[in-house]
Protein backbone atom coordinates (compact mmCIF):
# COMPACT_ATOMS: atom_id res chain seq x y z
CA UNK A 1 0.00 0.00 0.00
CA UNK A 2 0.93 3.60 -0.28
CA UNK A 3 3.54 4.86 2.06
CA UNK A 4 2.08 8.35 2.15
CA UNK A 5 0.90 9.73 5.40
CA UNK A 6 -2.78 10.16 5.59
CA UNK A 7 -3.90 13.60 6.61
CA UNK A 8 -5.80 13.54 9.85
CA UNK A 9 -9.53 13.50 9.21
CA UNK A 10 -9.91 16.16 11.87
CA UNK A 11 -8.12 18.56 9.54
CA UNK A 12 -11.26 20.21 8.29
CA UNK A 13 -11.65 22.04 5.00
CA UNK A 14 -11.96 25.29 6.86
CA UNK A 15 -8.69 24.69 8.62
CA UNK A 16 -6.95 23.95 5.34
CA UNK A 17 -8.48 27.02 3.80
CA UNK A 18 -7.28 29.20 6.63
CA UNK A 19 -3.79 27.82 6.26
CA UNK A 20 -3.66 28.07 2.53
CA UNK A 21 -5.17 31.45 1.80
CA UNK A 22 -2.40 33.48 3.44
CA UNK A 23 0.10 31.73 1.18
CA UNK A 24 -1.90 32.72 -1.84
CA UNK A 25 -2.29 36.20 -0.50
CA UNK A 26 1.44 36.64 -0.02
CA UNK A 27 2.00 35.20 -3.45
CA UNK A 28 -0.42 37.55 -5.16
CA UNK A 29 0.71 40.66 -3.33
CA UNK A 30 4.30 39.93 -4.19
CA UNK A 31 3.28 39.03 -7.72
CA UNK A 32 1.32 42.21 -8.20
CA UNK A 33 4.37 44.25 -7.28
CA UNK A 34 6.39 42.40 -9.82
CA UNK A 35 3.72 42.82 -12.45
CA UNK A 36 3.99 46.57 -12.27
CA UNK A 37 7.59 46.32 -13.35
CA UNK A 38 6.82 44.19 -16.38
CA UNK A 39 3.92 45.80 -18.21
CA UNK A 40 3.87 43.55 -21.23
CA UNK A 41 1.07 43.64 -23.76
CA UNK A 42 -0.94 40.49 -23.86
CA UNK A 43 -0.86 38.79 -27.23
CA UNK A 44 -3.62 36.42 -26.22
CA UNK A 45 -5.97 35.55 -29.02
CA UNK A 46 -9.71 35.55 -28.63
CA UNK A 47 -10.79 32.44 -26.78
CA UNK A 48 -12.17 29.64 -28.91
CA UNK A 49 -15.32 27.87 -27.80
CA UNK A 50 -14.66 25.25 -25.20
CA UNK A 51 -15.47 21.84 -26.65
CA UNK A 52 -16.41 19.88 -23.59
CA UNK A 53 -19.38 21.09 -21.62
CA UNK A 54 -18.97 20.82 -17.88
CA UNK A 55 -20.64 17.72 -16.58
CA UNK A 56 -23.22 18.43 -13.96
CA UNK A 57 -22.00 17.58 -10.50
CA UNK A 58 -23.66 14.26 -10.00
CA UNK A 59 -26.45 14.50 -7.44
CA UNK A 60 -25.21 11.07 -6.56
CA UNK A 61 -27.92 8.48 -6.99
CA UNK A 62 -26.59 6.04 -4.49
CA UNK A 63 -23.26 6.16 -2.72
CA UNK A 64 -20.47 8.32 -4.12
CA UNK A 65 -18.19 6.05 -6.08
CA UNK A 66 -15.09 5.61 -3.99
CA UNK A 67 -11.74 5.96 -5.75
CA UNK A 68 -10.75 2.53 -6.94
CA UNK A 69 -7.88 1.02 -5.01
CA UNK A 70 -4.71 2.16 -6.62
CA UNK A 71 -1.68 0.06 -7.21
CA UNK A 72 1.23 0.84 -4.99
CA UNK A 73 3.02 3.85 -6.41
CA UNK A 74 6.38 2.27 -5.74
CA UNK A 75 7.54 0.47 -8.86
CA UNK A 76 9.97 -2.37 -9.00
CA UNK A 77 13.57 -1.28 -8.56
CA UNK A 78 14.04 2.26 -9.84
CA UNK A 79 16.27 2.99 -12.77
CA UNK A 80 19.90 3.80 -12.32
CA UNK A 81 20.18 7.44 -11.30
CA UNK A 82 22.47 8.26 -14.19
CA UNK A 83 21.17 6.35 -17.19
CA UNK A 84 23.02 6.65 -20.46
CA UNK A 85 21.56 8.61 -23.34
CA UNK A 86 18.82 6.82 -25.25
CA UNK A 87 20.12 4.99 -28.28
CA UNK A 88 19.51 6.87 -31.49
CA UNK A 89 16.66 5.31 -33.42
CA UNK A 90 16.06 4.97 -37.10
CA UNK A 91 13.30 7.49 -37.29
CA UNK A 92 13.59 10.99 -36.02
CA UNK A 93 11.01 13.56 -35.05
CA UNK A 94 11.26 16.71 -37.15
CA UNK A 95 9.86 18.80 -34.28
CA UNK A 96 8.62 18.72 -30.69
CA UNK A 97 5.54 20.61 -29.50
CA UNK A 98 4.63 21.10 -25.86
CA UNK A 99 1.26 22.09 -24.39
CA UNK A 100 0.16 22.50 -20.80
CA UNK A 101 1.50 24.15 -17.65
CA UNK A 102 4.73 25.30 -15.99
CA UNK A 103 6.31 21.86 -16.32
CA UNK A 104 6.74 22.54 -20.04
CA UNK A 105 6.38 26.35 -20.25
CA UNK A 106 9.79 27.47 -21.49
CA UNK A 107 8.91 31.17 -21.17
CA UNK A 108 5.56 31.99 -22.79
CA UNK A 109 4.38 33.67 -19.60
CA UNK A 110 7.14 36.26 -20.05
CA UNK A 111 5.09 37.70 -22.90
CA UNK A 112 1.63 37.89 -21.35
CA UNK A 113 0.12 39.78 -18.43
CA UNK A 114 0.04 37.21 -15.69
CA UNK A 115 1.11 36.93 -12.10
CA UNK A 116 2.74 33.58 -12.78
CA UNK A 117 6.26 34.38 -13.92
CA UNK A 118 9.79 33.19 -13.39
CA UNK A 119 11.83 35.60 -15.50
CA UNK A 120 14.04 36.95 -12.72
CA UNK A 121 16.98 35.53 -10.74
CA UNK A 122 17.58 33.09 -9.21
CA UNK A 123 15.31 31.27 -11.69
CA UNK A 124 17.48 29.96 -14.48
CA UNK A 125 20.71 30.21 -12.49
CA UNK A 126 22.01 26.93 -13.92
CA UNK A 127 20.66 27.55 -17.38
CA UNK A 128 23.36 27.36 -20.06
CA UNK A 129 23.66 31.14 -20.19
CA UNK A 130 22.88 31.64 -16.52
CA UNK A 131 19.91 33.81 -17.40
CA UNK A 132 16.35 33.63 -16.16
CA UNK A 133 14.19 32.67 -19.12
CA UNK A 134 10.77 32.25 -17.59
CA UNK A 135 11.32 28.55 -16.92
CA UNK A 136 10.08 27.62 -13.44
CA UNK A 137 13.36 25.94 -12.56
CA UNK A 138 17.04 26.53 -11.95
CA UNK A 139 17.74 25.18 -15.43
CA UNK A 140 16.18 23.11 -18.17
CA UNK A 141 12.69 21.66 -17.88
CA UNK A 142 11.09 18.52 -19.39
CA UNK A 143 10.16 20.27 -22.68
CA UNK A 144 13.88 20.95 -23.23
CA UNK A 145 15.00 17.49 -22.17
CA UNK A 146 12.52 15.79 -24.49
CA UNK A 147 13.88 17.83 -27.40
CA UNK A 148 17.45 17.11 -26.31
CA UNK A 149 17.05 13.38 -25.70
CA UNK A 150 15.22 12.84 -28.98
CA UNK A 151 18.07 14.58 -30.77
CA UNK A 152 16.00 17.51 -32.01
CA UNK A 153 17.69 20.47 -30.27
CA UNK A 154 19.09 21.37 -26.83
CA UNK A 155 16.20 23.59 -25.72
CA UNK A 156 12.62 24.17 -26.84
CA UNK A 157 11.84 27.87 -27.32
CA UNK A 158 8.54 29.43 -26.20
CA UNK A 159 6.26 30.19 -29.12
CA UNK A 160 5.56 33.75 -27.97
CA UNK A 161 9.21 34.74 -27.86
CA UNK A 162 9.79 37.48 -30.45
CA UNK A 163 12.37 36.92 -33.16
CA UNK A 164 12.25 33.16 -33.47
CA UNK A 165 13.89 32.07 -36.72
CA UNK A 166 12.34 29.82 -39.33
CA UNK A 167 14.62 27.03 -38.13
CA UNK A 168 13.56 27.60 -34.49
CA UNK A 169 9.93 27.30 -35.48
CA UNK A 170 10.23 24.34 -37.83
CA UNK A 171 11.98 22.22 -35.19
CA UNK A 172 9.29 22.89 -32.60
CA UNK A 173 8.23 25.22 -29.81
CA UNK A 174 6.35 25.18 -26.53
CA UNK A 175 2.84 26.61 -26.35
CA UNK A 176 2.52 25.85 -22.63
CA UNK A 177 1.77 28.42 -19.94
CA UNK A 178 2.56 28.20 -16.23
CA UNK A 179 -0.67 28.05 -14.23
CA UNK A 180 -2.79 26.53 -17.01
CA UNK A 181 -4.92 23.42 -16.73
CA UNK A 182 -7.61 21.23 -18.25
CA UNK A 183 -10.29 23.04 -16.25
CA UNK A 184 -10.81 26.38 -18.08
CA UNK A 185 -11.21 28.10 -14.72
CA UNK A 186 -7.61 27.24 -13.72
CA UNK A 187 -5.86 29.56 -16.22
CA UNK A 188 -8.50 32.28 -15.78
CA UNK A 189 -7.75 32.66 -12.06
CA UNK A 190 -4.07 33.40 -12.72
CA UNK A 191 -4.34 34.85 -16.27
CA UNK A 192 -2.37 32.01 -17.81
CA UNK A 193 -2.95 30.88 -21.41
CA UNK A 194 -5.91 28.47 -21.54
CA UNK A 195 -5.45 25.16 -23.32
CA UNK A 196 -7.93 26.30 -25.99
CA UNK A 197 -5.75 29.33 -26.76
CA UNK A 198 -2.62 27.17 -26.82
CA UNK A 199 -4.37 25.25 -29.58
CA UNK A 200 -5.21 28.48 -31.42
CA UNK A 201 -1.52 29.39 -31.29
CA UNK A 202 -0.68 25.92 -32.63
CA UNK A 203 -2.98 26.48 -35.59
CA UNK A 204 -1.45 29.90 -36.19
CA UNK A 205 1.97 28.24 -35.99
CA UNK A 206 1.00 25.63 -38.60
CA UNK A 207 -0.01 28.41 -40.99
CA UNK A 208 3.42 30.00 -40.51
CA UNK A 209 5.14 26.71 -41.28
CA UNK A 210 2.99 26.30 -44.39
CA UNK A 211 4.23 29.73 -45.42
CA UNK A 212 7.84 28.56 -45.00
CA UNK A 213 7.78 25.14 -46.65
CA UNK A 214 4.43 24.78 -48.39
CA UNK A 215 1.26 23.02 -47.34
CA UNK A 216 2.25 19.44 -48.06
CA UNK A 217 5.66 19.56 -46.39
CA UNK A 218 4.19 21.40 -43.39
CA UNK A 219 1.51 18.77 -42.91
CA UNK A 220 4.16 16.08 -43.14
CA UNK A 221 6.28 17.80 -40.47
CA UNK A 222 3.31 18.20 -38.13
CA UNK A 223 2.24 14.58 -38.54
CA UNK A 224 5.72 13.17 -37.89
CA UNK A 225 6.47 15.38 -34.90
CA UNK A 226 5.82 14.66 -31.25
CA UNK A 227 3.20 16.65 -29.36
CA UNK A 228 3.53 16.39 -25.58
CA UNK A 229 0.77 17.54 -23.24
CA UNK A 230 1.17 17.91 -19.50
CA UNK A 231 -1.41 19.60 -17.28
CA UNK A 232 -3.72 18.78 -14.40
CA UNK A 233 -1.49 19.59 -11.41
CA UNK A 234 -2.77 23.14 -11.21
CA UNK A 235 -6.38 22.04 -11.57
CA UNK A 236 -5.99 19.86 -8.50
CA UNK A 237 -3.54 21.90 -6.42
CA UNK A 238 -4.81 25.40 -7.18
CA UNK A 239 -8.38 25.24 -8.39
CA UNK A 240 -9.82 22.26 -6.56
CA UNK A 241 -7.87 22.05 -3.30
CA UNK A 242 -6.31 25.55 -3.29
CA UNK A 243 -9.08 28.07 -3.86
CA UNK A 244 -11.75 25.40 -3.35
CA UNK A 245 -13.42 26.99 -6.35
CA UNK A 246 -14.74 23.72 -7.72
CA UNK A 247 -14.84 21.72 -4.53
CA UNK A 248 -18.30 22.96 -3.65
CA UNK A 249 -19.64 22.01 -7.07
CA UNK A 250 -18.01 18.66 -7.68
CA UNK A 251 -16.86 15.75 -5.64
CA UNK A 252 -13.36 14.65 -6.62
CA UNK A 253 -14.68 11.76 -8.69
CA UNK A 254 -16.77 14.10 -10.85
CA UNK A 255 -13.99 16.68 -11.04
CA UNK A 256 -11.31 14.23 -12.21
CA UNK A 257 -13.77 12.86 -14.81
CA UNK A 258 -14.32 16.40 -16.02
CA UNK A 259 -10.53 16.99 -16.24
CA UNK A 260 -10.05 13.74 -18.17
CA UNK A 261 -12.83 14.53 -20.63
CA UNK A 262 -11.38 17.98 -21.21
CA UNK A 263 -7.97 16.33 -21.81
CA UNK A 264 -9.35 13.87 -24.34
CA UNK A 265 -11.16 16.57 -26.25
CA UNK A 266 -7.84 18.43 -26.38
CA UNK A 267 -6.31 15.28 -27.85
CA UNK A 268 -8.98 15.18 -30.55
CA UNK A 269 -8.41 18.81 -31.40
CA UNK A 270 -4.67 18.24 -31.72
CA UNK A 271 -5.48 15.40 -34.10
CA UNK A 272 -7.83 17.60 -36.11
CA UNK A 273 -5.03 20.17 -36.36
CA UNK A 274 -2.79 17.52 -37.91
CA UNK A 275 -0.79 16.06 -35.01
CA UNK A 276 -0.42 12.27 -35.25
CA UNK A 277 2.02 11.47 -32.43
CA UNK A 278 0.54 12.67 -29.16
CA UNK A 279 1.70 11.85 -25.63
CA UNK A 280 -0.07 12.93 -22.46
CA UNK A 281 1.97 12.88 -19.28
CA UNK A 282 0.05 12.22 -16.07
CA UNK A 283 0.16 14.12 -12.81
CA UNK A 284 2.90 13.43 -10.23
CA UNK A 285 2.36 12.94 -6.47
CA UNK A 286 1.75 16.65 -5.97
CA UNK A 287 0.75 16.09 -2.33
CA UNK A 288 4.49 15.72 -1.68
CA UNK A 289 5.63 19.02 -3.18
CA UNK A 290 6.99 21.33 -0.48
CA UNK A 291 4.13 23.84 -0.50
CA UNK A 292 1.54 21.10 -0.04
CA UNK A 293 3.54 19.69 2.89
CA UNK A 294 3.63 23.17 4.41
CA UNK A 295 -0.05 23.92 3.86
CA UNK A 296 -1.62 20.54 4.54
CA UNK A 297 1.02 18.25 6.00
CA UNK A 298 0.72 19.28 9.65
CA UNK A 299 3.65 20.03 11.93
CA UNK A 300 5.67 17.20 10.48
CA UNK A 301 5.06 18.44 6.94
CA UNK A 302 3.95 15.07 5.68
CA UNK A 303 2.64 14.49 2.17
CA UNK A 304 -0.98 15.58 1.66
CA UNK A 305 -2.39 12.19 0.87
CA UNK A 306 -5.82 13.26 -0.30
CA UNK A 307 -4.44 15.12 -3.33
CA UNK A 308 -2.14 12.20 -4.17
CA UNK A 309 -5.17 9.94 -4.29
CA UNK A 310 -6.89 12.52 -6.52
CA UNK A 311 -3.83 12.64 -8.79
CA UNK A 312 -3.92 8.86 -9.19
CA UNK A 313 -7.64 8.92 -9.81
CA UNK A 314 -7.14 11.51 -12.55
CA UNK A 315 -4.26 9.53 -14.07
CA UNK A 316 -6.39 6.38 -14.24
CA UNK A 317 -9.22 8.26 -15.93
CA UNK A 318 -6.88 10.09 -18.29
CA UNK A 319 -5.27 6.83 -19.34
CA UNK A 320 -8.65 5.20 -19.95
CA UNK A 321 -10.21 8.06 -21.86
CA UNK A 322 -7.13 8.51 -24.06
CA UNK A 323 -7.21 4.82 -24.78
CA UNK A 324 -10.78 4.98 -25.99
CA UNK A 325 -10.14 8.14 -28.03
CA UNK A 326 -7.08 6.47 -29.57
CA UNK A 327 -9.27 3.72 -31.00
CA UNK A 328 -11.25 6.25 -32.97
CA UNK A 329 -8.27 8.14 -34.46
CA UNK A 330 -6.91 6.89 -37.78
CA UNK A 331 -3.15 6.71 -38.36
CA UNK A 332 -2.38 8.25 -35.01
CA UNK A 333 -0.48 7.26 -31.89
CA UNK A 334 -2.02 8.66 -28.73
CA UNK A 335 -0.56 7.43 -25.46
CA UNK A 336 -0.67 8.06 -21.74
CA UNK A 337 2.74 8.37 -20.08
CA UNK A 338 3.07 7.77 -16.36
CA UNK A 339 5.45 9.76 -14.19
CA UNK A 340 3.69 9.21 -10.88
CA UNK A 341 5.50 5.97 -10.07
CA UNK A 342 9.02 7.20 -10.69
CA UNK A 343 8.34 10.50 -8.93
CA UNK A 344 7.00 8.63 -5.88
CA UNK A 345 9.97 6.27 -5.96
CA UNK A 346 12.36 9.23 -5.96
CA UNK A 347 10.62 10.77 -2.96
CA UNK A 348 10.66 7.49 -1.08
CA UNK A 349 14.24 6.56 -2.00
CA UNK A 350 16.03 9.88 -2.44
CA UNK A 351 19.51 8.49 -1.78
CA UNK A 352 19.23 6.16 -4.76
CA UNK A 353 19.00 9.25 -6.94
CA UNK A 354 21.57 11.35 -5.07
CA UNK A 355 19.06 13.65 -3.35
CA UNK A 356 19.64 14.73 0.25
CA UNK A 357 16.60 16.98 0.47
CA UNK A 358 13.15 16.15 -0.83
CA UNK A 359 10.74 18.03 1.40
CA UNK A 360 11.82 21.60 0.80
CA UNK A 361 12.90 23.62 -2.22
CA UNK A 362 16.37 25.07 -2.74
CA UNK A 363 15.11 28.65 -2.97
CA UNK A 364 14.70 30.47 0.36
CA UNK A 365 13.23 28.45 3.21
CA UNK A 366 11.97 26.10 0.50
CA UNK A 367 8.65 25.77 2.26
CA UNK A 368 6.58 28.51 0.60
CA UNK A 369 8.72 30.34 -1.98
CA UNK A 370 7.35 30.22 -5.48
CA UNK A 371 7.36 32.73 -8.31
CA UNK A 372 8.10 36.25 -7.03
CA UNK A 373 8.63 35.00 -3.48
CA UNK A 374 11.71 33.20 -4.80
CA UNK A 375 13.88 36.15 -5.76
CA UNK A 376 17.44 37.35 -5.47
CA UNK A 377 16.67 39.99 -2.84
CA UNK A 378 15.03 37.94 -0.13
CA UNK A 379 15.83 34.33 -0.92
CA UNK A 380 19.01 32.62 0.15
CA UNK A 381 19.80 29.54 -1.88
CA UNK A 382 20.76 26.07 -0.75
CA UNK A 383 24.45 25.29 -1.07
CA UNK A 384 24.10 22.41 -3.54
CA UNK A 385 21.07 22.57 -5.79
CA UNK A 386 21.92 19.17 -7.30
CA UNK A 387 21.22 17.48 -3.99
CA UNK A 388 17.69 18.95 -3.86
CA UNK A 389 14.73 17.35 -5.58
CA UNK A 390 12.78 20.63 -5.59
CA UNK A 391 13.93 24.01 -6.81
CA UNK A 392 11.08 26.11 -5.37
CA UNK A 393 8.15 25.03 -3.25
CA UNK A 394 6.31 23.75 -6.33
CA UNK A 395 8.76 22.71 -9.06
CA UNK A 396 11.51 20.10 -9.28
CA UNK A 397 15.14 21.00 -9.90
CA UNK A 398 16.76 20.59 -13.29
CA UNK A 399 18.48 17.43 -12.08
CA UNK A 400 15.21 15.88 -10.89
CA UNK A 401 13.53 16.83 -14.18
CA UNK A 402 16.42 15.29 -16.11
CA UNK A 403 16.07 11.97 -14.31
CA UNK A 404 12.28 11.90 -14.75
CA UNK A 405 12.38 12.86 -18.41
CA UNK A 406 15.21 10.50 -19.30
CA UNK A 407 13.23 7.62 -17.86
CA UNK A 408 10.08 8.17 -19.86
CA UNK A 409 11.93 9.06 -23.04
CA UNK A 410 13.74 5.72 -22.73
CA UNK A 411 10.71 3.64 -21.88
CA UNK A 412 7.64 5.32 -23.40
CA UNK A 413 8.69 6.66 -26.79
CA UNK A 414 8.75 3.41 -28.77
CA UNK A 415 5.09 3.63 -29.89
CA UNK A 416 5.99 6.88 -31.66
CA UNK A 417 8.74 5.47 -33.83
CA UNK A 418 7.63 4.61 -37.33
CA UNK A 419 7.34 0.92 -37.97
C1 LIG B 1 15.92 3.31 -41.59
O2 LIG B 1 15.62 4.53 -42.30
C3 LIG B 1 15.96 4.48 -43.67
C4 LIG B 1 15.61 5.84 -44.24
O5 LIG B 1 15.93 6.86 -43.35
C6 LIG B 1 15.21 3.37 -44.38
O7 LIG B 1 15.62 3.30 -45.73
C8 LIG B 1 15.49 2.07 -43.69
O9 LIG B 1 14.70 1.04 -44.28
C10 LIG B 1 15.20 2.15 -42.21
N11 LIG B 1 15.58 0.91 -41.56
C12 LIG B 1 14.74 0.24 -40.82
C13 LIG B 1 15.28 -1.01 -40.21
O14 LIG B 1 13.59 0.59 -40.60
C1 LIG C 1 -3.74 6.82 -43.20
O2 LIG C 1 -2.51 6.59 -43.85
C3 LIG C 1 -2.66 6.06 -45.15
C4 LIG C 1 -1.27 5.71 -45.67
O5 LIG C 1 -0.36 6.72 -45.37
C6 LIG C 1 -3.40 7.05 -46.02
O7 LIG C 1 -3.58 6.52 -47.31
C8 LIG C 1 -4.75 7.35 -45.41
O9 LIG C 1 -5.40 8.35 -46.14
C10 LIG C 1 -4.59 7.83 -43.97
N11 LIG C 1 -5.88 7.98 -43.36
C12 LIG C 1 -6.22 9.05 -42.66
C13 LIG C 1 -7.60 9.06 -42.10
O14 LIG C 1 -5.45 9.98 -42.45
C1 LIG D 1 26.04 18.13 -4.91
O2 LIG D 1 25.09 17.08 -4.96
C3 LIG D 1 25.35 16.13 -5.98
C4 LIG D 1 24.17 15.17 -6.01
O5 LIG D 1 23.96 14.58 -4.77
C6 LIG D 1 26.67 15.43 -5.70
O7 LIG D 1 26.95 14.50 -6.73
C8 LIG D 1 27.78 16.46 -5.62
O9 LIG D 1 28.99 15.84 -5.24
C10 LIG D 1 27.43 17.56 -4.61
N11 LIG D 1 28.41 18.59 -4.68
C12 LIG D 1 29.01 19.08 -3.60
C13 LIG D 1 29.99 20.18 -3.84
O14 LIG D 1 28.79 18.66 -2.49
Average pLDDT, rounded, for the chain: 84
Instruction: Assign 246 a pLDDT band (cuts: 50, 70, 90).
Output: confident
State whether the Cα torsion 335-341-346-347 is positive or negative: positive
Q: What pLDDT does 12 receive?
A: 40
Q: Which domain holds residue 283?
A: 13-36+93-416
Protein residue closest via CA to atom 14 of ligand 3:
384
Q: What pLDDT does 18 receive?
A: 38
pLDDT tens-digit series, residues 357-406:
999 999 999 999 999 899 988 889 999 999 999 999 999 999 999 999 99
The number of residues making up the chain comes to 419
Check pLDDT > 90 for residue 232. Answer: yes
Is 268 within the bounds of a domain?
yes
Indicate if 356 belongs to the active site.
no
Q: What pLDDT does 91 receive?
A: 59
Question: Any idea what the CATH number is for the domain that residue 182 is in?
Answer: 3.40.50.1110
Q: Which residues pair with 361 in a beta bridge?
A: 390
Please report which ligand is nearest the Cα atom of 329.
Answer: 2
Indicate if 392 belongs to the active site.
yes
CA atoms within 13 A on the CB side of 311: 28
Look at 31-40, 104-113, 133-142, 283-292 and tell me which has the smallest mean pLDDT.
31-40
pLDDT tens-digit series, residues 214-225:
999 999 999 999
Catalytic residue among 31, 102, 174, 393: 102
Tell me the average pLDDT across 239-252.
87
Check pLDDT > 70 for residue 301. Answer: yes
Query: 223 CB under 6 A from ligand 3?
Result: no
Tell me the average pLDDT across 64-75.
40
Is 67 within the bounds of a domain?
no
Protein residue closest via CA to atom 13 of ligand 3:
384
Residue 287: which residues within 8 A CB-CB, separation 6 or more?
Answer: 4, 296, 303, 304, 305, 306, 307, 308, 311
pLDDT tens-digit series, residues 304-347:
999 999 999 999 999 999 999 999 999 999 999 999 999 999 99
Is 410 within the bounds of a domain?
yes
Check pLDDT > 70 for residue 103. Answer: yes
- Ligand 2 binding residues, C-beta < 6 A: 330-331
Instruction: Assign 74 a pLDDT band (cuts: 50, 70, 90).
Output: very low
Please report which ligand is nearest the Cα atom of 384.
Answer: 3
Count of the separate structural domains present in the chain: 1
Check pLDDT > 70 for residue 124. Answer: yes
Is 62 within the bounds of a domain?
no
Tell me the average pLDDT across 278-291.
98
3-state secondary structure of 340: helix
Taking the C-alpha atoms of residue 341 and residue 357, their distance in angstroms, rounded to an integer, is 19
Strand pairing class (277-281; 226-230): parallel
What's this model's pTM, rounded to 2 decimal places? 0.80
pLDDT tens-digit series, residues 161-180:
999 999 999 999 999 999 99
Strand blocks (E) in 271-327: 277-281
Ligand 3 atom at minimum distance from 354 CA? 5
Tell me the average pLDDT across 27-37.
37
Is 66 within the bounds of a domain?
no
Q: What pLDDT does 303 receive?
A: 97
Is 69 within the bounds of a domain?
no
Q: ∠330-334-338 over CA atoms, to 5°? A: 165
**Alpha helix positions (H), 56-159:** 142-149
Check pLDDT > 60 for residue 55. Answer: no
Is 48 within the bounds of a domain?
no
Is 375 within the bounds of a domain?
yes
Amino acid sequence: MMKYNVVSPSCSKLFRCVLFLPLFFIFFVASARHLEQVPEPSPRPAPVPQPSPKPKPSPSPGPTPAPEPKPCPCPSPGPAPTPSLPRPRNTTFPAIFAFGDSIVDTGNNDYISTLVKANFPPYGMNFPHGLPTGRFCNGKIPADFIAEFLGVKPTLPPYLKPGLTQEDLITGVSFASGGSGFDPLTPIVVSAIPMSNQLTYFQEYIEKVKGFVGKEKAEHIISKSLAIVIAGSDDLANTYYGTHAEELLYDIDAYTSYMASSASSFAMQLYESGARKIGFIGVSPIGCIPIQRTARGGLKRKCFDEINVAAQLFNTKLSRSLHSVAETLKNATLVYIDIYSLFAHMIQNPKEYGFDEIDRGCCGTGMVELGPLCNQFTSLLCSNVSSYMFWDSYHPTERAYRILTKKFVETDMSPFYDK
